Structure 1
Amino acid sequence: MHHIPVKLGEGGRLVIPAEIRKTLGLEIGDELLLHMENGKLVVMTRKQAIQYVQEQMSRYDVGQRVLSEELMEERRGEERDE
């Protein structure tokens, strides 16, 4: 693992070095998502975050069920009942 030191700037700003931005394909203005994991700060692109959640959810075996569709149908039923 290659560590690159950076300093926390005024207002809590963190500059991601050009080498890392290039490797990750980041452009100025890209939205990044942060979360804490085991006491560490994790920075991800939206695409990486979606992949991370999909990997976490794949641990749960729901067979042939499509939970997102079930949830949407449940919400539609609630709307009809109002």
Structure 2
Amino acid sequence: MDATVVLGKQGRLVIPAEIRAALRLRPGDRLHLATRGSRLVIEPQGEALTELQALAQDVPPSSSLVDELLQARRAEAGRE
């Protein structure tokens, strides 16, 4: 389904009713906006969260990404 919308003076977009219905969007729903190159991607916030959680699923719960970063920075500083 495609649609053309016009950007309003205050930067607002109106999502056409057919698209809102197809995506089951309701007033008050939270949407996530992202840029991918020159494209604007709008998706339900829950889907964006699910995508992020999937990216992090391979990180063992016992590991600390902060500790790993600090360790790497300290190693870099020691080489300088």
Q: For residue 66 of structure 1, what is the amino acid of its counterpart?
A: P
Residue aligning to 1:77: none
**What are the ranges of 5 or more consecutive residues in structure 1 without an aligned counterpart?**
75-82
RMSD: 2.1
Instruction: Give the alignment of 1:2-81 within 5 angstroms.
Output: 2-57=1-56, 61-62=58-59, 65-66=60-61, 70-71=63-64
Could you tell me the TM-score, scaled by structure 2's length? Answer: 0.65
Moved segments of 4+, more than 6 Å: none
- Residues 56 and 39 of structure 1: is their aligned pair in 2 closer, same or farther, counting only changes over 3 Å? farther
Q: Indicate the percent of aligned positions where both proteins have the same amino acid.
A: 38
Deviations 1:11-63 (A, max 9, x none): 011000011111111101211111111221011111110122234445xx44x
Q: Which amino acid aligns with 2:28?
A: G
TM-score, normalised on structure 1? 0.64
Measure the CA separation in 2 of the matches of 1:14 and 1:43. 11
Residues in 2 aligned to 1:33 and 1:20: alpha-carbon distance in whole angstroms: 16
What secondary structure does 1:11 align onto? coil
